[in-house]
Amino acid sequence: MSVRSKIKDRDIVRHYTNGEVTIVWQPNKCCASGICVKNNPEVFKPTKRPWIQPEYSTTEKIIETVKLCPSQALTYYMNNE
């Protein structure tokens, strides 16, 4: 793999929304996805594509789960701000 490919992979950022909140996911930073799956299995389904499906949970529960992310791979912002 070239250095250029590694840089591109490191910069991947994905966005998922339920209309109220947008989850920002940087998969290269993810080191503890089990926390997400355990705390909010309605949203974080690693066997599904895309594995983040925010339309299946409340905004409050999504924010609570994202705040538990130890690697900062997940962040969020409110869409109305």
Q: Walk me through the domains of the chain, giving residue ranges and CATH numbers.
A: 10-78 (3.30.70)
Beta bridge partners of 76: 23
pTM equals 0.80
**Strand, helix or coil for residue 16:** strand
pLDDT tier at 56, thresholds 50, 70, 90: very high
pLDDT at 2: 47
Mean pLDDT of 56-73: 94
Q: Residue 61 and residue 51: Cα distance in Å, rounded?
A: 16
- Please say if the pLDDT value at position 6 is more than 60: no
Q: Residue 5 and residue 69: Cα distance in Å, rounded?
A: 26
